[in-house]
Structure 1
Amino acid sequence: MSSTQDIFFKTKLLQLECHFTWALRKEDTDLTDLLNRLEDQINFDLGRKAGVARTYNSIGFVKYLLGSHDEALSHFQRSVELTKECHGEDCDKLLVVPYGNLAWLHYNRKDYEECKSYLDQLKEIKEKYPPDSTSVPYPEVLGEKGWTFLKFSRKYYETAKECFRKALELEPENGEWNSGYAIALYRTEIERSNPTDSPTIKQLRRAIDMNPDDDVLKVLLGLRLTTYKKYNEAESLVEKALENSPEHPHVIRYVGMFFRHQGSVDRAIALLKRALERVHDSSFIHHQLALSYKKKNISLYRAGSHHSKSAEIQRVRNQCIYHLEMATTLKPSFILAMCELALQYGENRDFSKAEEQFQATFQVAKEQNDACQLVTFCYAEFQKYSMRCESLAIKHYIQCLKMGPDTSEGRRSAGHLKRIAEKRISRNPKDAEAFGILGFIHKEKGEKRQAIECYEKALSYEDNEEYLSNLCDLRLSLQ
């Protein structure tokens, strides 16, 4: 191929809307785990050809990223077949994404005639259905893009939300886009103080009205309502969802999460085990089971004598560790489960294993540039509660707070540091380091005058260059 022809193809291909142009980075997800989830999705959605067609499209792209180009071709073609079966002649706009994927795949396979064939078909679709704007794709494309981002990685949840929002501006009554927007909001929205102000609750209700048979949406609404203590409505929704879809693993796993939050741990465990019988390779379900066993252990501790129940406590902890090990084996980049596994090793007094697990987790977090603050917080917890090393716990709580005072981990670190400092001051009112810790907390929160007061007290008991430097900076900032 001449350089002129190559420029022609590349120019046309880069203008397409498909998985190859959506900047989906394989570094942002665990491809094997993603593939397992997408293949499970096909089994769950067998009665919904539109959803299955979309899933085949995503599987094809994952296969391409894994280097299986022949399998990628087969899945893209299956997506086209199902789309045509489902929508008949009125499916042109739904073929934009799979045709784009096929054009890119044939180009990468140096099959330029086939590539040009799909480019020509896409040109015909565009001429037949001129888009309203050159910068805004068809709503069908925006919808598929939203579902793709939602499945691919949590790093793309905000982008998924924006895709569904734009699709709904063009087609506000579309049930699929309303469902996608509700799920994207559920995964991204910060809680409001009042449920009537919650965009997630409003959108979930709207999506359920438009998709009354979608029991996953009902459970998600139930979970969100518990945040606002709307327990009666939440339980009614969850019970209905479970009654309607007693074998659907997605419904069961969220119902299990609901019962765990409500304190019905044994019921949660039974449901999640049932879901695991249907989906053997679900890292999510293994993680949820581990959290349920963890909560059961906490209940056993609180119920009375640890010695009389030590065998039961150990049995439950072993179950927790087993499911965490399964979750991290199935999804080696599952940072939340990796952190929990390291903490459970610490609880089990297997300190070398815990330290090794933490170092591996730090490495994954750095490589992914994701959840570093969470890992730092968990490591501080490990030092405080398992290793009983207050100095290292303080060091890592401080490091965690520096990463962001307004996050959950930042706020919890500040709380731990405050309690440590106040306890030390109650024992020794002239503890300079304790006042320095309080000064640091106030400084990170932007409470400058309180920080100055604490650093002044610290300096009155001990000469310290760091305290003096912080004090000078704070005074200058107030001038």
Structure 2
Amino acid sequence: MSSRMGDLLKEKLDQLQCHFTWRPQKETIDLDDMVYRLQDAIIFANKYQAASYNQLAFVNCLQGNSEEAIQNLKEAEKILRENHKDAFERNSIITFGNYAWVHYHMGQLDKAQSYLDKLEMICKPLTDGPLYTAKIPEVYGEKGWSLVSSAVEYYEEAMECFEKALEKDPNNTEWIMGKATVLFRLETFSGTPESHEWSQSVKYLRRVLELDPDDSMAMVLLALKLNGRSKWEEANKLVEQALQKPSKDPYVLRYSAKFYRAEGAVEKAVNLLKQALELTPHSCFLHHQIGICYNIKLNKLGNRNSHSPATQQQTELISQCKYHFGKAFECRPRSAIRPMLDFADICIRSGEHKKAEGIYNNLVKLEGIRPENMQQICLQAGSFELYQKGSELSAISLFVKGVKIEYDSRERKMCKEKLEKWADKKLCYAPRDSKALGVRGLLYQLDGNKSKAIEYFGKALEIDHENEEYLCALSKLRNRD
């Protein structure tokens, strides 16, 4: 096939709805971790096996394992034929799209075209839109789950997918559970709109259990939400009911562990997490959760005096924390930000400041991550610069970076509080410190106090005449209507 024909084929492939045209790409996901998670999902999440095989085919193709990707797609196709005998074709749109892309990457253009031909025949009666795809609930739903499992950056888009799927199929428990899962996760981020209406996920989780009373994942997620609303008795019953299921589900075990950890039953939580780890030994999430439990135990012992040696129990707990936090980001160098921050914090507590500094230096360079994660990095790295290294300028620069990210999270508020405290203290004994005056100007600007912001940026410029940051801020403030 000529190069021109190959280009025409690529134009058609770009029209498809499948993993190769959705947003997550090689640069935005941790591929090795994704492989482990999808393999675990294939074993334990029976409802979503075909979808997991589809996504695994995409990841394998990204890693250059095209033959393995084809085998993954054959497994997906087999499951779909068994589970959707009367609606196989509409459920196979994404699988066939992935087939076409994998064959294209293998240079098998005739085979890629054959799958496009199949898609055209399937989609023609289903849509008035593009020739090779159909925007039907099955497509939106699988896309939603794919985005949820890829990275937190795609949660909002996943929500839109589940909502579109539910428009035409409002009682589908898979799509309701998908929306509930996204809401549950978004509600944990302090800067999201969902965090202010965090009972939304409760509504959808209850709906799942109305339609499928045996859904143990819905039980434990609902329990976590109800426990946060002081409905302990109902929450506890839900967790106990989920754990009584005959087949052990590692996902149910890990969320049950979060429930018991929140209740203060840390040892019980550790036992559940270790059971889950036996089932899914490569789970970064589980290692992080175990590390958090050991950190709680460490905190209960109190802070040791920096001049006195750690007790044997403290030393053992620090070692356990470092091991599990380290394992948590071992195959997730891009996305396991919280475990890295927790690891750095433990390093500080054990006196390994150089190791902590190296982690912070790498984290502050990251791009394209969720805003609250970058704000947390700025907060923690700034605190390290201020309290461990005594470097005020570096610390203030990081706190400023955190507050300038326009995302109203708890971490941003804490960065702001650090700046306020520092500026007030500094100006008490150095009223003409340009940096402190500039920080005060920025804080007034963020609070919407235009006149005070202009006053303080002006004072800062009187001392630091050519500071471009202050000049730019003043220019914007004075030109604003």
Q: In which range does the TM-score fall when normalised by the shorter chain? A: 0.7 to 0.9
Aligned 1:198-277 pairs, distance under 5 A? 198-244=199-245, 247-277=248-278
> Once the 2 structures are TM-superposed, how far is the Cα of residue 177 of structure 1 from its aligned partner?
0.9
Alignment of 1:34 onto 2:34? yes
Counterpart-to-counterpart distance in 1, 2:343 and 2:256 = 23
Counterpart-to-counterpart distance in 2, 1:422 and 1:171 = 57
Pairing partner for 1:165 from 152, 163, 166: 163
Percent of paired sites with the same residue: 33
> Once the 2 structures are TM-superposed, how far is the Cα of residue 303 of structure 1 from its aligned partner?
11
Aligned 1:308-327 pairs, distance under 5 A? 310-327=311-328
Counterpart-to-counterpart distance in 1, 2:204 and 2:61 = 35
> Once the 2 structures are TM-superposed, how far is the Cα of residue 146 of structure 1 from its aligned partner?
1.0
Note the alpha carbon deviations across 1:50-95, whole angstroms, 9 max, x for none. Answer: 5211111111111100001110111111111111012224311011
Secondary structure at the counterpart of residue 302 of structure 2:
helix
Deviates more, 1:202-211 or 1:164-173: 202-211
| CA distance 1:7–1:277, shift in 2 (3 Å) | closer
Structure 1 unaligned regions, length at least 5? none
Letter in 1 for 2:82: E
Residue 6 (structure 2) aligns with? 6
Quick check: 1:37–1:282 contact (8 Å CA) kept in 2? Answer: yes
Letter in 2 for 1:362: V
Pairing partner for 1:416 from 415, 418, 424: 418
Pairing partner for 2:114 from 105, 113, 117: 117
Residue 352 (structure 1) aligns with? 354
Secondary structure at the counterpart of residue 330 of structure 1:
coil
Residue 131 (structure 1) aligns with? 127
Letter in 1 for 2:110: E
Counterpart-to-counterpart distance in 2, 1:431 and 1:241 = 63
Alignment of 1:149 onto 2:147? yes
Secondary structure at the counterpart of residue 185 of structure 2:
helix
Counterpart-to-counterpart distance in 1, 2:307 and 2:260 = 25
Aligned 1:276-295 pairs, distance under 5 A? 276-295=277-296
Residue 397 (structure 2) aligns with? 395
Counterpart-to-counterpart distance in 2, 1:100 and 1:57 = 10
Note the alpha carbon deviations across 1:185-229, whole angstroms, 9 max, x for none. Answer: 22224366886x732222222122223222222222222334444
- How many residue pairs are counted as aligned between the two chains? 470
Quick check: 2:123–2:134 contact (8 Å CA) kept in 1? Answer: no
Residue 79 (structure 2) aligns with? 82
| CA distance 1:308–1:222, shift in 2 (3 Å) | farther
Secondary structure at the counterpart of residue 20 of structure 2:
helix
Deviates more, 1:299-308 or 1:156-165: 299-308
> Once the 2 structures are TM-superposed, how far is the Cα of residue 475 of structure 1 from its aligned partner?
7.0
Aligned 1:302-313 pairs, distance under 5 A? 310-313=311-314
Letter in 1 for 2:222: L
Counterpart-to-counterpart distance in 2, 1:55 and 1:114 = 23
Deviates more, 1:465-474 or 1:149-158: 465-474
Quick check: 2:6–2:109 contact (8 Å CA) kept in 1? Answer: no
Quick check: 1:220–1:254 contact (8 Å CA) kept in 2? Answer: yes
Deviates more, 1:130-139 or 1:202-211: 130-139
Deviates more, 1:369-378 or 1:254-263: 369-378
Residue 64 (structure 1) aligns with? 61
The alignment's TM-score, normalised by the length of structure 2, stands at 0.86
Residue 183 (structure 2) aligns with? 185
| CA distance 1:243–1:320, shift in 2 (3 Å) | same
Letter in 2 for 1:262: E
Counterpart-to-counterpart distance in 1, 2:240 and 2:368 = 42
Counterpart-to-counterpart distance in 1, 2:83 and 2:195 = 43
Quick check: 1:215–1:245 contact (8 Å CA) kept in 2? Answer: no
Secondary structure at the counterpart of residue 346 of structure 1:
helix
Quick check: 2:432–2:463 contact (8 Å CA) kept in 1? Answer: no
Deviates more, 1:75-84 or 1:17-26: 17-26
Residue 48 (structure 2) aligns with? 51
| CA distance 1:318–1:111, shift in 2 (3 Å) | same
Counterpart-to-counterpart distance in 2, 1:165 and 1:103 = 28
- Which protein, 1 or 2, shows the higher relative CO under an 8 Å CA cutoff with sep ≥ 6? 2
Note the alpha carbon deviations across 1:1-28, whole angstroms, 9 max, x for none. Answer: 1355335433432332221222331111
> Once the 2 structures are TM-superposed, how far is the Cα of residue 422 of structure 1 from its aligned partner?
4.3
Deviates more, 1:200-209 or 1:281-290: 200-209
| CA distance 1:19–1:191, shift in 2 (3 Å) | closer
Secondary structure at the counterpart of residue 333 of structure 2:
coil
Quick check: 2:53–2:72 contact (8 Å CA) kept in 1? Answer: yes
Alignment of 1:301 onto 2:297? no
Quick check: 2:186–2:195 contact (8 Å CA) kept in 1? Answer: no
Alignment of 1:91 onto 2:91? no
Quick check: 1:283–1:327 contact (8 Å CA) kept in 2? Answer: yes
> Once the 2 structures are TM-superposed, how far is the Cα of residue 414 of structure 1 from its aligned partner?
0.7
| CA distance 1:424–1:5, shift in 2 (3 Å) | closer
Residue 362 (structure 1) aligns with? 364
Note the alpha carbon deviations across 1:383-439, whole angstroms, 9 max, x for none. Answer: 2343354453333212322233623322110112223344556x7495756565444
| CA distance 1:439–1:10, shift in 2 (3 Å) | closer
Letter in 2 for 1:295: I
| CA distance 1:474–1:278, shift in 2 (3 Å) | same
Note the alpha carbon deviations across 1:129-184, whole angstroms, 9 max, x for none. Answer: 43265596121111111111111222211111111110100111111111111112
| CA distance 1:459–1:387, shift in 2 (3 Å) | closer
Secondary structure at the counterpart of residue 236 of structure 1:
helix
Structure 2 unaligned regions, length at least 5? none
| CA distance 1:304–1:374, shift in 2 (3 Å) | closer
Deviates more, 1:302-311 or 1:210-219: 302-311
Quick check: 1:272–1:288 contact (8 Å CA) kept in 2? Answer: yes
